[in-house]
Amino acid sequence: MVRSPTAPSRRRLDLWAWWGVATLIVATVLVLLTALHSYSADRDATNAALTDLRVAVTTEDTVWHEPSAAEFTRARASVTSALGGIRAVSMDAAERDHLTTLVDTYQSAADREMAYLAAGDTSAASAYDLATLDGDYARLDTALRAAVDDQALLDQRATTVAYVASLGVVLAAAAVVAILVRAAATRGRRTAVLEIEASALAERERSFRLLFEGNPQPMWVTNPETDEILTVNEGVLALYGYTRSAFLALRTADLIAEDGDPPMLPPGGVGEGERSFASVRHRTRAGALLEVEITVHGAVFEGHRVHVVLAHDVTERLALQRELEHNAFHDTLTGLPNRALFTTLLEHAHLRLRGRPGACAVLVIDLDDFRTVNDSLGHDIGDQLLVAVSRRLAAAVRPGETAARVGGDEFAVLLEDLESEAEAVATADRLLAALREPHRVGTRLLTVRATIGIATSGERDSASDLVRNAHTARYAGKERGRDRHEVFRHSMHAAAVERLGLEQELREGLAREELILLYQPKVDTMSGRAVGVEALVRWLHPTRGMLSPDLFIPIAEQSSLILEVDAWVIARACHQAREWRDAAATPLSMAVNVSARHLEGGGLLELVRRSLDETGIDPGMLELEITEGAAVGQQEQALTTLRRLREGGVRIAIDDFGTGYSMLSRLQDFPVDTLKIDRSFVSKIVSATTEAPIVAATIAMARDLGLEVVAEGVETEAQRLYLARHGCDLLQGYLISPPVDPAQLTAMLGRPLLRSLVGA
């Protein structure tokens, strides 16, 4: 930007302008006056010469009429002298020659008349005078008068021209003065504007320096043409680690990291008031990588066009953004792709391989009994095991195969570009073998088993169908023994559809109150009398008839329906217990099975309390049975619920004890009152002397812990005798009674159900 002249400079220029105009006016007037004076002098000389000639001619003519030789001679000399004066002044040459000719003609005529007079011929002289001399004189006099008049007219014109010229000069001077005045005014306004702009520019530059130098935002100024760094603030030095002199020796391009690209600026750079944005990667003096957002502003600094560069360090923000993006599509514990990313990759593969049946496959991997690890060793060990499993899977998959964690202990593998289903099966075998190898977790070696469901793409299957089919195959593998793989077949889908239909029917059956309770008595081993019952749920289906719980309870367990089933069973059983209590002097205990999901989901404590309050039965009459597997897997919150129930008088029983061998280390601290020996162990007792060490050990251990022991599935007298000899407290099974309806059981309560062994 060009700076405006200072005020003193402008004043000096104005003075010189006025001085020049005044000088021009004075010079012009002087020239006009000089010319006028010279012209006037010339005209005066001419007029004088003409006047002298006319006087001389008139004098000569007068003398001629009164002749005197001496006077005539003098008059003739005056005419000659005046005629010489005419020739000496500046006048029109033709007019001068005309006058000279007339004078010569007149003089010649005068000389001839003088000759007549000298000869004494007065008559001839007078006649000649009248005939010639008077005419020559008249013509000469007329010419002299006309010449004098012409000179007067010329004088008048010259004077008029001089006045007009002077007036023109004055008017021109006035115009020049007006122009100068207006120009001065305009220049004054322009000067004021320039002064304001200069002041504003100075203020902007002062503000810019204050903002620039004191701003913590890293900023530097560059030459747009050479990229040379002109100045830099402290924020840049702090961010990049350079000294001021070292940074000023750089160019902006020198800051760019090896793998980074320079910011793209518009052709010709960034103009004043314009901006350009870019994201670049810079290196600090120490070599650290910086992710920087660059804003380039076009500006004028110290009268020159510059680029003002602002650098915003976004290294941490981008790192966090990348972390968030990674976490959005990767499992935070194992680092494997999560369900969202796996689904996206599967959909892309499915679209790419559309029309090629069997070209891609999904393997769904579920760890067998992983919950036992969590519950027995703790969640920290469980998480470490999941990490170890994920690493094993990642190492076992091949290029082009994707392993992901899609659930708690559930993984999935995507296979692409398969030639046949056999390749997917071979991959599943390879993964199972890899997982069976012991995993080192801390100081422990843990062995993991898994069940894998395999589904390959079909002509009409969608990506979601493929995942669903793999899950269906996995369910089938679990049912067939675990630690294996199972390939999806459409018959499995039909079974799954059947289960889904049954689930919907169960939902509707609960609403229509199609469930019923049957009761199986529990008797004292020695007296044979009933001391309690177990409530067993059945489904009286409108078209299928009476359905065993083995058909619908697993379906209810896989959905939230089990919570509704448990709530209905507990409420109904408590009402039945109150009816028997009111009808008999000796109340019966009522045992009810409770799902592990009810313990995990909460609400059991409130449900039991509400049922007890509604029926008014003693809490000690209610016994909640939990399977050993469910009991092992309970978290502290569920155990707290059980403890509070037990503290309130409700009894807690472990059902199917012995099937997992996993409760032995926890029995002493577990809130339990009763152990129920599983029917699978009781069935092995074929005589009173049969060796059944697990049964005997369980009874002995329960006695040492002060627990009541119930044997279920008792079907023979020999089993009763063996159990009685080893101290089993209660018996339950078909030897006593199958599950019956309330009316049948009411009829049985008035008599012993087994013969007494007391005294036998």
The two beta strands, 361-367 and 674-677, are unpaired
pLDDT tens digit string along 105-150?
777 777 777 777 667 777 776 776 666 766 767 777 787 777 777 7
CA distances to 46, 261, 436 from 377, rounded to whole Å, are 146, 53, 19
Q: What average pLDDT does range 8-20 have in this prediction?
A: 60
The model's pTM? 0.49
- Position 3 scores a pLDDT of 43
Structure tokens given for 683: 């069935």
Note the pLDDT of residue 2: 36
**Range in 99-103, 200-204, 416-420 with the lowest mean pLDDT:** 200-204
The DSSP 8-state label assigned to residue 663 in this structure reads S
Express each pLDDT in 161-193 by its tens digit: 666 766 776 677 677 667 766 766 676 677 666
CA–CA dist 167, 147 (Å, integer): 30
With a cut of 60, say whether residue 630 has pLDDT above it.
yes
- As a whole-number percent, the residues of the chain with pLDDT over 70 amount to 76
For the cut 90, the answer to whether the pLDDT of residue 536 exceeds it is yes
**Residues 471-493 pLDDT 10s:** 989 988 887 777 899 999 887 77
3-state helix, strand, coil in the chain (%, to 5): 55, 20, 25
pLDDT attached to residue 124: 73
Neighbours of 422 (CB within 10 A): 11
Q: What does the mean pLDDT of the chain come to?
A: 81
Dihedral (C-alpha) 540, 542, 546, 550: value to the nearest 10 degrees?
-80
**Alpha carbon separation from 605 to 570, 608, 642, 721 (Å, rounded):** 12, 5, 8, 39
**Radius of gyration over every alpha carbon of the chain, rounded to an integer in angstroms:** 67
Q: What is the pLDDT of residues 197-209, one digit of tens each?
A: 666 566 666 656 6
What is the per-residue pLDDT across 446-479, written as a single tens digit (0 to 9) for each?
888 899 999 998 777 888 989 999 998 998 888 7
Separation between Cα atoms, residue 510 and residue 563, nearest integer Å? 11
Is 50 exceeded by the pLDDT of residue 265? yes
Query: In this predicted model, which residue has the larger pLDDT, 544 or 79?
Result: 544
What pLDDT does residue 623 have? 96
Residues 279-299: tens digit of each pLDDT: 888 988 988 888 888 888 888
Listing from the earlier edge strand, what are the strands of the sheet with 229-232? 229-232, 219-222, 304-313, 289-301, 275-283
Q: Is the pLDDT of residue 377 over 70?
A: yes
Write the secondary structure of 431-447 as one string of H (helix), E (strand) and C (coil).
HHHHHHCCEEECCEEEC
Q: Identify the DSSP state of 736.
A: T
Mean pLDDT of 34-63: 66
What is the spatial order of strands in the sheet that 361-367 belongs to? Answer: 402-405, 410-415, 361-367, 450-456, 485-487
Q: Is 372 or 396 the better-scoring residue by pLDDT?
A: 396
State which of 1-5, 24-28, 729-733 shows the largest mean pLDDT: 729-733
Lowest mean pLDDT among 74-83, 259-268, 412-421: 259-268
Sequence-distant contacts of 640-646: CB under 8 A, at least 24 apart = 641/599, 641/602, 641/604, 641/605, 642/599, 642/671, 643/671, 644/605, 645/604, 645/605, 645/608, 645/671, 646/671, 646/673
CA 101 to chain centre: 114
Q: Which residue has the higher pLDDT, 277 or 708?
A: 708
210 falls in which pLDDT band (50, 70, 90)? Answer: low
> Can you tell me whether residue 674 is helix, strand or coil?
strand
Instruction: Tell me: pLDDT of 612 over 90.
Output: yes
pLDDT for position 1: 37
Q: In this structure, what token pair is assigned to residue 410? A: 């559930």
DSSP strand pairing (674-677 vs 708-712): parallel
Residue 56, pLDDT above cutoff 90: no
